[in-house]
């Protein structure tokens, strides 16, 4: 049953002040000259996140599911992260955007509870999966001789992650209420915590900030710091050439860049929104739409970066991506085009030596297309 309330004033509990901004006709952002521009800007900004995130994370899931070689524990964790990010993209971003555009809740009472639970649960699962990946990488690098976690154990841990995420999200789902206000034809889905509501909300957000941001960030940072130190000071085994040593250094730099990117994206994207929520629930600051949507957009954008960091910067995932029909054709087309340009340039100086080298390169990289490439060579250099 929907409850009716008068228009909320600025003296109401702080957790209501944020949503009251949507109802106050006197708010500056509500002016007719600004709202269409702001709405259009937000729609475009969030649409970019939705498109990039869905494409990247769906491709990741497809690669892992389709290829049996990718059914390792790490790949399962990465796919779970992609699933959580897809849920964040579908269930978090659109609800927030629609609530602002229409200045009212249009999804009904049931979705008032379900959406809030799904929003928090997907975020919590994403964060906990990042922690699981960091711990798994730490164990693999620091204890290479120990037996790896089995796929069954990995699936069990994924189940534990979802249970933990659900438990952390239950208070936000239970203490929700759909309110309809007397003086405006608008409905708002608001938290309705037990008395004292402000204190309850304050400590709930503070606990969430510590358990699902500060602690995970500390675990991820420490794990990757140890891994980075181990990787950087590890030397190649046996006698190596200068080329092998240079390749080894490049691999170490790539690994370190990836580890730094993981920590930086998580810390930078989620810190402003978490701090804003804690300060708002503690009544240190007043609700501000501009700040909220800036911080919320930044946090939601993290779902776009994870596929690139964990998968597309990984050699195994890149190889599997090239095997996909569409992406493979694009990649091979670019490779052939680059080769032809290189071949034309080099053919002007030493055609015999350079052509032989290029043909060897083609045999190694594009064996499946040898017949077509040989025809291309004959057309480019008929003297051969």
Backbone dihedral angles phi then psi of residue 188, each to the nearest 5 degrees:
-130, 135
Q: How far apart are CA 328 and CA 319, in angstroms?
A: 9
pLDDT-derived band at 283, boundaries 50, 70, 90? confident
Q: Is 12 left (phi over 0), alpha (psi -120 to 50) or beta?
A: beta
Where are the domains positioned within the chain? 3-323, 327-380
Residue 161 has pLDDT above 80, yes or no: yes
> Mean pLDDT throughout 337-355?
47
> Mean pLDDT throughout 124-153?
88
Lowest pLDDT segment from 90-104, 211-225, 266-280: 90-104
Query: Scanning the structure block, which residue is given the tokens 């077509």?
Result: 372
266 token code pair: 């998580």
Angle, to 10 degrees, between the axis of helix 93-102 and the axis of helix 35-66?
160
Residue 5 has pLDDT above 50, yes or no: no
Q: How far apart are CA 324 and CA 330, in angstroms?
A: 10
258/79: higher pLDDT? 79
**CATH superfamily assigned to domain 3-323:** Rhodopsin 7-helix transmembrane proteins (1.20.1070.10)
- Do 265 and 309 contact (CB within 8 A), yes or no? yes
The pLDDT of residue 129 is: 93
Across-strand partners of 187?
180
How distant, in Å, are the alpha carbons of 58, 114, 205, 273 from that of 51? 11, 24, 30, 22
> Mean pLDDT throughout 280-288?
85
pLDDT-derived band at 357, boundaries 50, 70, 90? very low
The pLDDT of residue 185 is: 66
The edge-to-edge listing of strands for the beta sheet with 187-191 is 3-5, 176-181, 187-191
Lowest pLDDT segment from 9-23, 36-50, 191-205: 9-23
The pLDDT of residue 333 is: 53
The pLDDT of residue 126 is: 92
How distant, in Å, are the alpha carbons of 93, 99, 280 from that of 13? 25, 20, 11
pLDDT-derived band at 238, boundaries 50, 70, 90? low
């Amino acid at each position: 049953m929907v409850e009716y309330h008068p228009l909320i004033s600025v003296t109401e509990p702080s957790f209501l002040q944020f949503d009251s901004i949507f109802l106050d006709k006197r708010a500056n952002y509500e002016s007719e000259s600004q709202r269409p521009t702001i709405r259009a800007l937000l729609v475009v900004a969030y649409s970019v996140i939705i498109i990039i995130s869905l494409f990247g994370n769906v491709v990741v899931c497809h690669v892992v599911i389709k290829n049996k070689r990718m059914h390792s524990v790490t790949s399962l964790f990465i796919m779970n992260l992609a699933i959580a990010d897809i849920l964040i993209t579908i269930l978090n971003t659109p609800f927030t955007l629609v609530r602002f555009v229409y200045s009212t809740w249009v999804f009904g009472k049931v979705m008032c509870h379900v959406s809030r639970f799904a929003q928090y649960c997907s975020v919590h699962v994403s964060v906990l999966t990042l922690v699981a990946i960091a711990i798994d990488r730490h164990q693999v690098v620091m204890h290479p001789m120990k037996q790896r976690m089995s796929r069954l154990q990995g699936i069990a841990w994924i189940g534990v992650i979802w249970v933990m995420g659900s438990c952390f999200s239950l208070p936000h789902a239970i203490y929700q209420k759909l309110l309809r206000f007397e003086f405006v034809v608008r409905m708002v889905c608001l938290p309705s915590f037990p008395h004292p509501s402000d204190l309850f909300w304050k400590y709930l957000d503070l606990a969430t900030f510590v358990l699902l941001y500060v602690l995970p960030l500390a675990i991820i940072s420490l794990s990757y710091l140890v891994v980075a130190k181990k990787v950087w000071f590890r030397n190649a085994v046996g006698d190596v050439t200068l080329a092998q040593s240079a390749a080894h250094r490049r691999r170490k730099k790539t690994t370190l860049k990836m580890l730094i990117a993981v920590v930086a994206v998580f810390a930078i994207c989620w810190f402003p929104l978490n701090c804003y929520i804690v300060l708002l629930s503690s009544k240190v600051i007043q609700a501000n739409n501009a700040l909220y949507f800036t911080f919320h957009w930044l946090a939601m954008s993290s779902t776009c970066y994870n596929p690139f960091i964990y998968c597309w910067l990984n050699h195994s995932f890149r190889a599997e991506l090239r095997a996909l029909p569409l992406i493979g054709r694009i990649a091979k087309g670019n490779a052939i085009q680059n080769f032809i340009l290189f071949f034309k340039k080099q053919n002007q100086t030493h055609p015999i030596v350079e052509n032989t080298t290029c043909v060897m390169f083609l045999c190694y990289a594009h064996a499946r297309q040898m017949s077509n490439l040989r025809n291309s060579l004959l057309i480019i250099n008929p003297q051969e």
